[in-house]
Structure 1
Amino acid sequence: MQNESAHFTDGATAEIEDIGGGLRRQMLGFNDELMAVKIYFDEGAIGYNHAHRHSQITYVVEGEFHFNIDGVTTVMKPGDSCYIPPFADHGATCPTGGILIDTFSPAREDFLEEK
């Protein structure tokens, strides 16, 4: 990949990409080995179950999320976080609207290729 973001990101002016289905994505920082992304969920939006090769940690900034990892569902609220191992099936529903911070290792190449 051989990419990296600027050292500083201004959250007020950084692009927020509409990725459909009531979801928007803002890149916070990345290099080949690590990526942080802010995901905005509209009320009722669904991050459909999927799996990928990357390790992921998700932190709930605001809202309530019904988060599923490998068939186990839990309700997550602000301040909660979860670890998703590589290739684990996972997804989330957000009945309230909310914001997540997702971190990935290595970086999600597909997020950068879509630009």
Structure 2
Amino acid sequence: MEKTSWEKIETEPLSPGLTRQTLHGEKLSFARMQLKNGTIVPRHQHANEQITVVTEGALQFRFDGREIVVAKGEMILIPADVPHAAEAIGNSETLEIFAPCREDWKTKKDDYLRAKK
């Protein structure tokens, strides 16, 4: 057991307009993501349940045939294996909780988020 702060956690640039800080536990992952206006998180799905809390700006989530805007102070629960995408409306920041742990993030095999070189 050890306390930490966002200032001590590495900020990982993933693509233009998208950065992430992540803390992994044994059974969950917790992250802070910062997205510039118009940044798109491409459509993807994962075996993890996801809770996204918007702390700045807003995100427009896209599910099959449905769009949901989640604004500052709101949150959304996305069940496991549900395909989704998101777009930042204004400069935005989110707190993300995933269970179980995001192994693809730990091993940097989250290509859907990373800029192609």
**TM bucket, shorter chain:** 0.7 to 0.9
Q: State the distance in 1 between where 2:64 and 2:27 align.
A: 25
Alignment of 1:1-115 (within 5 A): 7-27=2-22, 29-114=23-108
Percentage identity across aligned positions?
30
The Cα of 1:81 is off from its aligned counterpart by: 0.6
Tell me the distance in 2 between the aligned counterparts of 1:69 and 1:83. Answer: 13
For residues 102 and 87 of structure 1, the distance between their equivalents in structure 2, rounded to whole angstroms, comes to 16
CA contact (8 A) 1:66 1:73 kept: yes
- Measure, in 1, the Cα distance between the counterparts of 2:25 and 2:100: 8
* TM-score after normalising by structure 2: 0.85
Q: 1:95 Cα shift?
A: 2.6
CA RMSD, aligned part only? 1.6
- C-alpha distance in 2, partners of 1:56/1:32? 16
- Is the partner of 1:96 in helix, strand or coil? strand
Question: TM-score if structure 1 supplies the norm length?
Answer: 0.86
Q: Which runs of 5+ in 2 are unaligned?
A: 110-117
Report the counterpart of residue 3 of structure 1 in structure 2.
Answer: none
Q: Shift of residue 13 of structure 1?
A: 3.1
The 4+ residue runs of structure 1 with deviation greater than 2 A are none
* Structure 1 stretches lacking a partner, 5+ long: 1-5
Distance 1:58 1:95 in 2: 15
CA distance in 2, matches of 1:95, 1:31: 30
